[in-house]
Amino acid sequence: MSKKILIVGGVAGGATAAARIRRLDETAEVIIFERSGFVSYANCGLPYYIGGVISDKEELTLQTPEMFRERFQIDVRVHHEVTAIHPERKTVTVKNLETGETFEESYDKLLLSPGARPVQPNLPGAGLKNLFTLRTVEDTLRIRDYVVKNKPKSAVLAGGGYIGLEVAENLRELGMDVTIVQRPNQLLNPLDYEMACFVHAKMREKGIRLMLGHSVEGFEKAGDQVNVLIKGEQTIKTDMVLLAIGVAPDTHLAKEAGLTLGIKNSIVVNDRMETSAPDIYAVGDAVEVRHFVTGSKALISLAGPANKQGRIAADNICGGNSVYQGSQGSSVIKIFDMTVATTGINERTAKDAGIDCDKVYLSPSNHASYYPGGTMMTMKVLFEKNTYKLLGAQIVGYEGADKRIDVIATAMHAGMTALQLKDLDLAYAPPYSSAKDPVNMAGFMIENIAEGRLKQFFWDEVGALPDDGSVFLLDARTREEYTAGHINGFVNIPLDELRDRLSELPQNVPLYVLCQSGLRSYLACRILSQNGWDCHNFSGGYRLYETIYRDCLAAKQAYPCGMDKK
């Protein structure tokens, strides 16, 4: 006897599950209810249609209802909203949004893929016509239509996450004046603050105004424009506003049906994607998952995990035994010509979870330095002290950043330690990499820590270094680099002169050494350590320090470590 399977919501999770069910069970009756007019679309491509990078709106549609019907014999009903779930009698109530008709549909198995909805702040004036949110294709078409017809010259974005930054880039590329306002003091929450400073610098370089650490208090109509009210700041008058404050699980149906809910009202599922109700599964942005690194409960709104969950749910609906191993949070975003990529957890999350973590920073080139066109990336790799378990990585760079984050993500999933990164046999040719790949280099650095050959200090510890002569601060860069900018208190002795000038260094005090990126200062520390000094290397180097310092100047806030530079 064939099963009747209902799927609530399409896009990544629901559409993937439907196609997988058909591949596994030719006899199943499958119906998808989707309240929008599009069942399977490129959610991550929506900002690029607004900016005209994707010019044909048909390109946003991955599968139409007609394609689902012809290829998979799946009944897709768009503009149909499921308004209630009745687990006790295994039915759902459905409203046809075009006709207003309401009916009940029975099921043997039910899959929920409702996704997440944009957070709508309860602010005065939030209903004005030139205020937008971005979730569906219809939202995208509405924004694009407004941009084309009205040719706005300015926009304010409330929120600095992935969607906010992608829309900001696209609007700026259209020539608009763009301002991002958000309460946290940094963009892109998966990054640690110091890594986000590189993103801030890129956004400002491209002419985007950042108002970080500020709150939007409301909106007022100002003719054809909008006044954006900022707490403690001057009102911003703009042509349009995008609310990209964040998303929340869209789970009112599950709640009303009595399904068990978890953090932020997400749907609790087991590793088979089963909810607390028999024969009801859930996937995607609406479900609570286990974080692969920490094992804790998490909400991770990304297309990759949603697709995997849809496939796993489909397997189990069809009698299989597939399990979801948790979400690692691997992500990548294009910011103008820059690439930002992350996997695992950041340092802030590790500390909140009580994990005793360590880190390395490095600034390698994306390929062999002698091959033309090389670009520098900044990497931060986190690992647990003593066990050397890989916890996460963040990379800000250009070409090759995505490749390195994928290698580290794979190593994490395979259970490799941070020490084993040095052993990876990675492809090399001068246009693509170096004989010592950046991932290998991170492993070498971590091995040096494990072997006691490398002691580090960090950007947020500089201000705590005493100035009473109990330590000596050494800058191992060239005189030209030092003159162009340095940290107060650091004495310049270039690396290549160091062996001949050891007599200038005080005896029996720890030495704290920096260079531009951390490599020359490490070489200096090797010289000094073997001559009897207790030496500490500034991880990330002056390049990282200066990026943070400049960010603080631009934001008109005190430098976090409390030490100035000249």
- Give 72-88 pLDDT, tens digit per residue: 999 999 999 999 999 99
**pLDDT attached to residue 63:** 75
Best mean pLDDT range from 11-25, 40-54, 57-71, 443-457: 443-457
pLDDT at residue number 121: 80
**Cβ 419 vs Cβ 406: under 8 Å:** no
Beta carbons of 321 and 305 less than 8 angstroms apart: no
Q: Is 245 helix (H, G, I), strand (E, B) or coil?
A: coil
User: 303, 302, 334: which is closest to 399 by C-alpha?
Assistant: 334
Verify whether residue 44 is a known catalytic residue: yes
Is a pLDDT exceeding 70 seen at residue 564? no
What are the CB-based long-range contacts (under 8 Å, 24+) for 227-231? Answer: 228/156, 228/158, 228/181, 229/124, 230/181
Q: Would the pLDDT of 1 be above 90?
A: no
Residues 99-112 have a mean pLDDT of 98
Residues 107-133 have a mean pLDDT of 91
In the predicted model, what is the mean pLDDT of residues 250-274? 97
CA distances from 553 to 197, 410, 517 (A): 11, 38, 21
Neighbours of 164 (CB within 10 A): 24
Of residues 558 and 252, more confidence is placed in 252
Q: Give 503's contacts (C-beta < 8 A, 6+ positions apart).
A: none
Higher pLDDT, 245 or 381: 381
Q: Report helix, strand or coil for 442.
A: helix
Q: Kindly state the average pLDDT of the residues 33-52.
A: 84
Number of other CB atoms surrounding residue 481 within 10 Å: 17
Mean pLDDT to the nearest integer, 169-183: 96
Dihedral angle over CA of 192, 194, 195, 201, nearest 10? 130
pLDDT of 354 higher than 50: yes
Alpha helices for 295-400 (secondary structure H): 303-317, 347-352
pLDDT reading at 176 higher than 80: yes
Please tell me the predicted confidence (pLDDT) of residue 62: 66
Work out whether the CA dihedral 264, 270, 273, 276 comes out positive or negative: negative
443 CB-near residues (< 8 Å, 6+ apart): 418, 419, 420, 421, 422, 423, 424
- Whole-angstrom distance, CA of residue 536 vs CA of residue 511: 6
pLDDT at residue 486 in the model:
95
pLDDT tens digits along 514-555: 999 999 999 999 999 999 999 999 999 999 999 999 999 988
**CA–CA gap between residue 552 and residue 546 (Å, rounded):** 10
Q: How far apart are CA 268 and CA 328, in angstroms?
A: 18
- The three-state secondary structure class of 321 is coil
pLDDT at 558: 66
Answer yes or no: is pLDDT of 362 > 80: yes
Confidence of residue 247 (pLDDT cuts 50, 70, 90): confident
- Residue 12, pLDDT > 90, answer no
What's residue 313's pLDDT? 98
**227 has which bridge partners?**
220, 237
Mean of the per-residue pLDDT values of the chain: 94
Of 445, 380, 10, 351, nearest in space to 198 by CA: 380
pLDDT for residue 164? 92
- 245 confidence band (pLDDT: 50, 70, 90): confident
Question: Cα–Cα distances in Å, from 133 out to 164, 246, 253, 418?
Answer: 10, 10, 22, 41
Closest CA to 199 of 555, 552, 551, 442: 551
Q: Cite the DSSP H helix spans in 318-461.
A: 347-352, 401-413, 438-450
pLDDT band at 11, cuts 50/70/90?
A: confident
Each residue's pLDDT tens digit, 122-160: 888 888 889 998 888 888 889 999 999 999 999 999 999
Q: How far apart are CA 275 and CA 295, in angstroms?
A: 19
The fraction of the chain above a pLDDT of 90, given in percent, is 84
Q: How confident is the model at residue 566 (pLDDT cuts 50, 70, 90)?
A: very low
For residues 408 and 69, the model is more confident at 408
Q: Evaluate if residue 565 carries a pLDDT over 70.
A: no
